[in-house]
């Protein structure tokens, strides 16, 4: 039997429905913020990604799936097909393709800014693990033409809102500024100075990164190299006045929009095109692949791909990880959200009164269960706790005498005596 390729998934009807629902949430937010949809090919000239994503990135160096037709493969074997010039690659991300399409279709001739989004598959030959696949879907958002710090905050807000509306409330937004071509050389030099004494013990990739693009030293996955770069210089300490002001304005706009953020000086992102603002949304519950999405500003990229000198900013949100995080968070809140009442009569004399209470409360629409296994009070408590009941009502000899039940709230860890005839009027948290 032929099985699906490693790192890919089949989505059966139940999962497909969830994907559709997640997409709907994204589409609604994107459209509300003025973004319009774009679609473009799943594969492009390899050169687009080499120039767009960056030749020194792991994505380009190691992870791209190149595609070649059977006929071209024959030509290649005969030395008549130039893989470098003519080769095609399954897209590893959407930004480079959107920019290619923006330039090719002269969308820059329209009134700016251009605000677009796209939803679709991307392909990276990474080692599959929880939350990391070889085919995955991104919700991608891009804005071309605006240098305004508000635009950075607006883009960040779209992603943040998506995460919130999906109920992934335990997520964190990390932001950083990695400066511009004016301030970058000083930061690169500082990174090189920092790495130099340790370089001879670092991996061959890092030796290459040191020469070609020291920022990429921070991407190395070799634990010893990561340890060697601990405490490295941080880009925010090397910003030029213009970048510093821009970053201040981004933070201010986020604060006005009440979007909580954490500054992370280690955040540089794994793709080469970023300048100034970079950001990532993380959900720690996802384990090592905890980035739900990320993005940043890329002011020189459109020009470097042959278009006009227009700034840009955007993000890619990993839809697969959003769905995993949403499931985890739902499970967690189901576990913590208590509801219903568990009645524990102590002894046979208490049972008629307990049944009366149960019947009256059920008639009010409350979820009520009674202990029928003759468990000890301690084990009945344990059971109620395990079954996530919010309340326990205890009726024993002293309760019968006093005419009131002992009511325990397992969520607030409180307890009180409530008269039997007042139980019906009690304000229950259902």
Residues that bind ligand HAM (CB under 6 A): 93-95, 124, 126, 132-133, 136, 138, 140, 142, 270-271, 291-296, 314-316, 318, 320-321
CB of 94 to ligand HAM, least distance (A): 6
CB of 306 to ligand HAM, least distance (A): 18
Q: 342 near 382, Cβ under 8 Å?
A: no
CB of 40 to ligand HAM, least distance (A): 13
Closest-CB residue for ligand HAM? Answer: 318
Residue nearer to ligand HAM on the CB measure, 120 or 308: 120
CB of 274 to ligand HAM, least distance (A): 7
CB of 121 to ligand HAM, least distance (A): 11
CB of 91 to ligand HAM, least distance (A): 10
Pick the closest to residue 131 from 332, 18, 291 (CA basis): 291
Three-state DSSP string of 127-169 = CCECCECCEEEEEEEEEECCCCHHHHHHHHHHHHHHHHHCCCC
Alpha-carbon distance of 294 to 217, in angstroms, equals 19
CB of 125 to ligand HAM, least distance (A): 9
Alpha-carbon distance of 427 to 409, in angstroms, equals 12
Q: 213 near 272, Cβ under 8 Å?
A: yes
Q: 290 near 283, Cβ under 8 Å?
A: yes
Alpha-carbon distance of 291 to 219, in angstroms, equals 14
Residue nearer to ligand HAM on the CB measure, 145 or 316: 316
Alpha-carbon distance of 140 to 379, in angstroms, equals 52
Residue nearer to ligand HAM on the CB measure, 89 or 404: 89
CB of 142 to ligand HAM, least distance (A): 6
Q: 140 near 315, Cβ under 8 Å?
A: yes
Percentages helix, strand, coil for the chain (3-state, rounded to 5) are 45, 20, 35
Give the chain's radius of gyration (CA, Å).
29
Alpha-carbon distance of 285 to 283, in angstroms, equals 6
Alpha-carbon distance of 345 to 348, in angstroms, equals 8
Residue nearer to ligand HAM on the CB measure, 315 or 389: 315
Residue nearer to ligand HAM on the CB measure, 216 or 408: 216
Residue nearer to ligand HAM on the CB measure, 145 or 314: 314
For residue 201, give Cα distances in angstroms to 28, 191, 206.
Answer: 51, 16, 10
Q: Which long-range contacts link 67-71 to residues 24+ away (Cβ below 8 Å)?
A: 67/43
CB of 315 to ligand HAM, least distance (A): 5
Residue nearer to ligand HAM on the CB measure, 90 or 292: 292
Residue nearer to ligand HAM on the CB measure, 149 or 357: 149
Residue nearer to ligand HAM on the CB measure, 75 or 132: 132
């Amino acid at each position: 039997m032929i099985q699906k390729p490693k790192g890919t998934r089949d989505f059966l009807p139940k999962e497909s429905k969830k994907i559709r629902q997640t997409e709907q949430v994204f589409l609604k937010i994107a459209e509300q913020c003025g973004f319009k949809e774009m679609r473009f090919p799943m594969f492009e000239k390899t050169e687009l990604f080499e120039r767009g994503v960056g030749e020194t990135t792991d994505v380009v160096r190691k992870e791209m799936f190149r595609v070649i037709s059977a006929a071209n493969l024959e030509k290649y074997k005969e030395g008549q097909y130039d893989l470098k010039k003519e080769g095609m690659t399954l897209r590893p991300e959407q930004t480079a393709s959107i920019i290619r399409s923006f330039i090719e279709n002269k969308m820059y001739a329209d009134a700016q800014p251009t605000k677009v989004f796209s939803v679709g598959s991307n392909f990276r030959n990474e080692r599959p693990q929880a939350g990391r696949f070889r085919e995955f879907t991104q919700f991608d958002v891009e804005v071309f033409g605006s240098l305004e710090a508000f635009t950075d905050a607006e883009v960040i807000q779209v992603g943040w809102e998506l995460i919130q509306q999906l109920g992934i409330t335990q997520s964190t937004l990390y932001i950083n500024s990695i400066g511009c071509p004016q301030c970058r050389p000083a930061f690169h030099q500082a990174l090189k100075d920092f790495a130099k004494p340790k370089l001879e013990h670092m991996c061959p990739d890092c030796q290459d990164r040191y020469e070609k693009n020291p920022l990429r030293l921070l991407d190395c996955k070799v634990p010893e190299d990561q340890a060697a770069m601990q405490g490295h210089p941080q880009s925010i300490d090397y910003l030029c006045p213009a970048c510093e002001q821009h970053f201040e304005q981004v933070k201010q706009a986020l604060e006005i929009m009440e979007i909580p953020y954490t500054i992370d000086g280690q955040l540089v992102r794994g793709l080469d095109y970023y300048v100034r603002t970079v950001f990532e949304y993380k959900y720690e519950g996802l384990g090592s692949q905890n980035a739900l999405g990320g993005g940043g500003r890329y002011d020189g990229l459109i020009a470097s791909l042959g278009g006009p000198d227009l700034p840009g900013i955007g993000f890619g949100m990993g839809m697969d990880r959003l769905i995993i995080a949403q499931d985890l968070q739902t499970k967690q809140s189901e576990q913590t959200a208590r509801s219903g009442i568990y009645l524990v009569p102590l002894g046979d004399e208490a049972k008629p009164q307990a049944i009366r209470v149960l019947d009256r409360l059920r008639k009010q629409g409350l979820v009520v269960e009674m202990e029928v296994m003759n468990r000890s009070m301690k084990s009945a408590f344990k059971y109620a706790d395990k079954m996530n009941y919010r309340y326990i009502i205890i009726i024993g000899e002293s309760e019968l005498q006093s005419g009131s039940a002992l009511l325990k709230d397992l969520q607030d860890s409180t307890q009180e005596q409530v008269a039997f005839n007042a139980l019906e009027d009690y304000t229950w948290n259902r």
